[in-house]
Structure 1
Amino acid sequence: MLAGMLAIAGCDRLTKRADLVFLNGAEPETLDPSLLVGQPEGRVVQALFEGLTTFDAKGRAQPGMAESWTISEDKRVYTFRIRDNAKWSDGTPITAQDFVDSWKRTLTPETASSYNYQLFYVKNAQAFAEGKIMDFSQVGVKALDPRTLQVTLENPTHFFLELCATPPLFPAPVRTIEKYGDEWIKPQHIVSNGAYILKEWRINDRIRLEKNPYYWNAANVALQTVDILPVSKANVAFNFFSSGVADVLLDKGLAPPALLDDLRKQPYFHSAPFLGVYFLRFNCAKPPFDDVRVREAFSLAIDKRVITGKITRAGELPATSFVPPGIEGYTSPTGPGFDPERARKLLAEAGYPGGKGFPLVTYLYSEGEVNGFIADELQNMWSRELGIRVELARQEWKVYLNSLNSLEYNIARSSWLGDYADPNTFLDMFVTGNGNNRTGWSDPAYDKLIAEAASEGEPARRAAILQQAETMLVTRAMPICPLYYYVGIQFYDTDKIGGIEPNVLDEHPIKSMFRKDRPPAAPQK
């Protein structure tokens, strides 16, 4: 077994072990910044690419491809100065026009970016994405010269600099994409601009990254090579870590639930709250979950304390709302708790007394022991409290994401991590037509509230509007059911690995990591 693990980690006779090996959860679905939706993809993409700003080890937005910027008095116009030494990994300069072309690609409907709404704060970006404007020159992003990018927003957006550090706003090598199509993300074709380049991608084996010599801050990137292992089973991941095959375990789902009580006492165990929530989606587009009474009944039948106390056991809090606590200036409404008696009454009102006549439905979840244990517990609760037998369906990550996107499910396990410290990053995904909605639910009143919040400049009034929207989401329409708030978990030896800091965004850039137990590796030739 160990020999096999060593080979997977790149320690066989043919490949020298990387300076750092870390466990990343599921195999990435894509490395295209415009198309990714999951954290496993995001970690890799943020090593390969960089936006106008970039997150540091503490989750703070810092200058990235832009060395500086100015903001107009009305806080709607940002003028970015692109670094003179900003280059693609093939050595060609990065220009302001690269950002214009990349943002246009993300917004173009044919690209089918689920995250294109991250650009809707830019003037006329949403209208272009929806085909209401065909002339992209009307969108508020312009290259004033090769080194100057001007961005005009619809309204003042206090988190815009944080948005610039997220993948949908990264530059992409459009010429390379036009040449190779979907094949552009393969190692032999890809051109990137981040701290690392993609040296190798062996599906279900590993991703090998090498330091990018053309990266503007290469002198401060300590690790020459990094191997990323796609491991989705918690026990396997822990074996890799404990045996020394891997140095860092980053994914919160890779901590073995059965061992957590003991693991929390170990010096290599690190945890801290962050802006993330584990929740259920209901498919509101077809029976029986097109009936809000059924959705509410299924939600009320869940004892969330059992899930956090019996299964996750890392200090997670049962979720009373969708937006996690910890965002300054915002207090979430309290959603419904565990009330099986009311759940049974609602189910009867919907035409299914005691669960009689309820159609066969399936609960969809992705790989991982925690997801499996939660699925089993939910199945037992719904059977015990509602008299309904729910079938369980586990799918590997890529298939699972496709099922969510195509609404091929009844109930589905989901999670969401904040892209920036603002309630909007959780709430705007449920507006009509949003690529990350994936519930089939739509309400013009909700859409209106989110739009009003976007145009409201006074913080307290804006927070009140967002509270109204969240109240609708978690107590009235209920297309989702929040289960618990995440606690970030990492395994690493602080005597060996540095550059990992707790933060509310759970951002842990590879470029910030370094080894304490050995001298810097020689550059690759």
Structure 2
Amino acid sequence: MPKLLTINGLTGYIILAATAFAVAAGPANAQIIERDLHRGVMEGPEQLDPQYAFHAAERAILTDLFVGLVVDDAAGQPQPGAAESWTTAKDGRQWVFKLRDDLKWSDNRPLVAGDFVYAFQRLLAPQSSAPFASMFYPITGARALHASKAGDLATLGVKARNKRTLVFDLEKPTPYFLSLLSHPSAFPLRKDLIERGPDSWTRPGRLVSNGAYILGEWLPGRHVKLRKNWGFYDPASVNLDNIFYDIVEHGEVALERFFSGELVILSGIPRDRIAGLMETAPEIVRLHPTLTTDYLVFNTQNPPFDDPKVREALALAIDSRSLVMNVLGRGEIPTDGMLPEGMANLRAPAQPDRDSPYPPKRPLSPSQKRSKAKHLLDNSGYGARDSLRITLHYNNSETHQVIAEAIAGMWKKIGVRTDVYGSHYNVHYGDLGIGDFDVARAGWIADFDDPMAVLELFLSDKERFNYSAFADKEFDRLFKAANGQPNPRERAIGLYRAHQRAISQYPVVPLYNHASRNLVAPTVTGWVDNVKDIHPSRFLNLPN
């Protein structure tokens, strides 16, 4: 493996790999040189149905394959996508989108407003188990339709006025509505192809898309190859002919492939290599805060975690700053809240009202927190050493294991005995979904830049992702009142208070906000760090 010190040598390797070409068949006297870009990802896609995408790699690939009404630009900001323009009613309850002229699917069939109508009807149909369907409940009739056993799809407030005009009616003004429309769940879909092959329409050769790229090859455990879509509405903006998402599950192998020049982008860097890379090759390391929070979740349905004081004691004993500084050390931000730093549409009151239940708390030192934690356990009947024994669950990864063991050590200092248990990603989150755990590690990526993307996890009627089974009438009241507030400033303050209420009950223990960890070769242009950690290949280039 090349030494990390030789950054000039590294660049040479990467230039060699980046400018490698394939000669394709063409006119008798011409050669077509295809330009490829290889992106390394630590886990491959499990499926490529946009409405069921969950993993980061799935979303990255789908963002290359499809285009919604709006798209995220290189900086993660919304810009026109399939829609060339839109208007909003004065009361904020109706949005009208005008599609670009002559939009086409990759099989050359015209793309029309009805393809978006079908996608939203499928997403919110009564039988749908799409994980992010509830994000679109602001649409008129969406919640009732999704919750029904056999609702009428025509009641959904998404209509095609004509082939190029799409109309959304909303239950109430929704400040973040536009940002929802770049999510894969809002991508257009082909009804004829899905009904013809419900279990096979996402396979290579069958998947028809409307984005900058089309699916060329999908070899599980190896790579996903995307090819340039010449029918895309702006093909001149697509610089590269082929994009390879190479699956490299082992960190050291991933680094070796990057430094050999085989990969020019690597998403996810082994925890123990960050410091060395920052010292020897800082120009290739991209660390940036994201809208992602790691946290612990308590099963509040089972004793002793049905006792808020026990949950508070365990939360107080965790020193998240120590986790970040001494265990992780890769740009994460310690936090005591669930809302990532810098999130939009959030505002603390200028000063708490005299009767406010949310006064600012005086920070406690780690030793003071441990003392309070022991006192809380004493009062809850768990004062004797080892009288409380729990299992901390995590999904398998070196980082998650190290964090779990560090937390177990912190709990040991207050007399709590902890067993750590790791399992495969799907098994882990399956157990969380059915409540088969004591305390567990979880992570949440805000899919749009608004507190709603996180706070809805704590709603009493939230069936998916409310792993703690938290139910609090006061939180529900505060959240719903704030989210229905037409004044943006009052809404932002109300959501802040709802968040404080949820955190004060300790259904979860926020640990830290993530930083994206990417290696990007100096030969790559067009990469812009952003809080969403979304980097469409369309905006990337490898200049000669």
* 1:439 aligned onto 2:456: no
Work out the CA distance in 2 between the residues paired with 1:214 and 1:402. 40
Preserved CA contact (<8 Å) 1:26 1:232: yes
**Contact (CA 8 Å) 1:365, 1:375: kept in 2 or not?**
no
Superposition TM-score, scaled by structure 2 size: 0.86
Find the residue that maps to 1:422 and give its secondary structure. Answer: coil
Correspondences of 1:343-422 after superposition (within 5 Å): 343-354=373-384, 356-367=386-397, 369-395=398-424, 397-422=425-450
What letter matches 2:264 in structure 1? D
Asked if the contact 1:127–1:133 (Cα under 8 Å) also holds between the matched residues in 2, the reply is: no
Aligned residue type for 1:375: A
Q: Is 1:341 equivalent to 2:371 in the alignment? A: yes
**Structure-2 separation of matches of 1:297 and 1:271:** 33
Q: Is the 8 A contact 1:66 1:81 kept in 2?
A: yes
Would you say how many aligned residue pairs link Structure 1 and Structure 2?
504
Alignment of 1:426 with 2:440, yes or no, is: no
Match of 2:538 in 1: 511
What secondary structure does 1:497 align onto?
A: coil
In the alignment, is residue 263 of structure 1 matched against residue 293 of structure 2?
no
Distance 1:350 1:238 in 2: 49
- Structure 2 counterpart of 1:444, which letter? K
Give, in whole Å, the separation in 2 of the partners of 1:489 and 1:91: 38
**Aligned counterpart in structure 2 of residue 485 of structure 1, from 510, 513, 531:** 513
Contact 2:392 2:404 in 1 (8 A): no
Instruction: Give the counterpart of 1:207 among 189, 211, 224.
Output: 224
Q: Could you tell me which residue of structure 2 aligns to residue 198 of structure 1?
A: 215
CA distance in 2, matches of 1:509, 1:436: 27
Structure 2 spans left out of the alignment, 5+ residues: 3-17, 25-32, 349-357
For the Cα contact (< 8 Å) 1:343–1:386, is it kept in 2? Answer: no
Distance of aligned partners of 1:185 and 1:57 in 2 relative to their CA distance in 1, 3 Å threshold: same
CA distance in structure 2 between the partners assigned to 1:414 and 1:17 by the alignment = 41
**What is the alpha-carbon distance in structure 2 between the residues aligned to residue 490 and residue 19 of structure 1?**
19
- Indicate if the aligned counterparts of 1:364 and 1:392 stay in contact, CA closer than 8 A: yes
SS in 1 for 2:87: strand
Q: Deviations over 1:382-416 (max 9, x none)?
A: 22333312222132x33334333333333222222
Matched, 1:297 2:313: yes
Q: 1:49 to 1:497 in 2, by over 3 A?
A: same
Distance 1:46 1:408, change over 3 A: farther
Per-residue deviation, residues 484-520 of structure 1 (Å, max 9, x unmatched): 12222221123x101111222222112211112x3xx
Partner amino acid for 1:214?
Answer: G
Residues 78-123 of structure 1: per-residue CA shift (max 9 Å, x gap): 1111222222222111111111111111112322012101111111
Q: Aligned partner of 2:509: which letter? A: C
Partner of 1:32: 49
User: What SS is found at the alignment partner of 1:370?
Assistant: helix
Deviations 1:281-340 (A, max 9, x none): 222233332332232222111111111111221332210211122135524687887412
In structure 2, the residue matched to 1:244 is 261
Letter in 1 for 2:125: T
Shift of 1:434: 4.4
> Contact conserved, 1:325 with 1:331, CA < 8 A, in 2?
no
Query: Aligned in 2, Cα 1:197/1:183: closer, same or farther, shift over 3 Å?
Result: same
Alpha-carbon distance in structure 2 between the residues aligned to 1:382 and 1:17: 56
Within 2, Cα distance between the matches of 1:448 and 1:147? 40
Pick the aligned partner of 1:48 from 59, 65, 68.
Answer: 65
Unaligned runs of 5+ in 1: 3-8, 519-525
Distance 1:176-1:398 versus aligned 2 partners, 3 A rule = farther
- 2:478 is matched by which residue type in structure 1? L
Displacement, 1:466?
0.7
8 Å Cα contact 1:382/1:390 also seen in 2: no
TM-score of the superposed pair, with normalisation by structure 1: 0.89
CA contact (8 A) 1:19 1:226 kept: yes
Alignment partner, residue 11 of structure 2? none
Residues 257-281 of structure 1, C-alpha deviations (whole Å, 9 max, x = no match) = 2222221232111222232222122
Opposite residue 129 of structure 1, the aligned amino acid is: H
Task: Report the Cα distance in structure 2 between the residues aligned to 1:126 and 1:71, rounded to whole angstroms.
Answer: 22
Q: Share of identical aligned residues, percent?
A: 32
CA distance in 1, matches of 2:438, 2:57: 25
Structure-2 change in CA distance of 1:413 and 1:19 (3 Å): same
Q: Does the aligned pair in 2 maintain the 1:208–1:225 contact within 8 Å?
A: yes
The worse-fitting range, judged by mean Cα deviation, of 397-406 and 160-169 is 397-406
Larger displacement relative to structure 2 (288-297 or 263-272): 288-297
Does the Cα contact within 8 Å between 1:450 and 1:469 map onto a contact in 2?
Answer: yes
Q: Which protein shows a greater Rg?
A: 2
How far the C-alpha of 1:355 sits from its partner, in A, is: 5.0
Q: Do the aligned residues in 1 keep the contact of 2:345 with 2:451 (CA within 8 Å)?
A: no
Coordinate RMSD, CA, aligned? 2.8
Q: Distance in 2 between matches of 1:218 and 1:438?
A: 44
Go from structure 1 to structure 2 and tell me whether the alpha carbon gap of 1:421 and 1:200 turns closer, same or farther (over 3 Å shift): same
**Partner Cα separation in structure 1 for residue 474 and residue 147 of structure 2:** 20
Query: CA 1:448–1:104 in 2, change beyond 3 Å: closer, same or farther?
Result: farther
Aligned partner (choices 110, 113, 117) of residue 96 of structure 1: 113
Partner secondary structure for residue 489 of structure 2: helix
> Aligned partners of 2:384, 2:246: CA distance in 1, in Å?
47
Is contact 1:247-1:492 (8 Å) kept? yes
Once the two structures are superposed, the pairs formed by residues 149-160 of structure 1 within 5 Å of their partners are 149-160=166-177
Q: 1:469–1:148: structure 2 CA closer, same or farther, 3 Å change rule?
A: same
Aligned partner letter, 1:261: A
Whether contact under 8 Å (2:344, 2:451) holds in the other structure is no
In the alignment, the residues of structure 2 paired with residue 215 and residue 169 of structure 1 have an alpha-carbon distance, to the nearest angstrom, of 18
Tell me the secondary structure at the aligned position of residue 306 of structure 2. Answer: coil
Confirm or deny that 1:497 pairs with 2:500: no
For 2:498, the equivalent position in structure 1 comes to 469
Counterpart-to-counterpart distance in 1, 2:437 and 2:227: 39
Q: Is the 8 A contact 1:102 1:170 kept in 2?
A: yes
Q: What SS class does the counterpart of residue 310 from structure 2 fall into?
A: helix
State the alpha-carbon separation in 1 of the partners of residues 405 and 35 from structure 2: 38
**Residue in 1 aligned with 2:13?**
none
Q: In the aligned structure 2, how far is the partner of 1:130 from the partner of 1:43?
A: 30
Q: What is residue 126 of structure 1 aligned with on the other side? A: 143
Measure the CA separation in 1 of the matches of 2:187 and 2:329: 36
Write out per-residue CA displacement over residues 332-382 of structure 1, whole angstroms, 9 at most, x where no aligned residue. Answer: 687887412222222333332235443542322243x32222122122222
**Per the alignment, do residues 392 and 262 of structure 1 end up closer, same or farther by CA in structure 2, a change over 3 Å counting?**
same
Deviation for aligned residue 1:236: 2.7
Q: What secondary structure, in the 3-state scheme, does the structure 2 residue paired with 1:213 have?
A: coil
Aligned to 1:522: none
What is the DSSP-based 3-state SS (H/G/I as helix, E as strand, rest coil) of the residue aligned with 1:186?
Answer: coil
**What corresponds to 1:5 in structure 2?**
none
Correspondence for 1:306 among 317, 322, 329 = 322
Number of the residue aligned with 2:481: 452
**Aligned equivalents of 1:264 and 1:439: distance in 2?**
38
Decide which of 94, 97, 101 is 1:80's aligned counterpart.
97
Distance in 2 between residues matched to 1:428 and 1:244, nearest whole Å: 43
Query: Residue 127 of structure 2 contacts residue 146 of structure 2 at CA under 8 Å; is this kept in 1?
Result: no
1:274 equivalenced with 2:274 (yes/no) = no
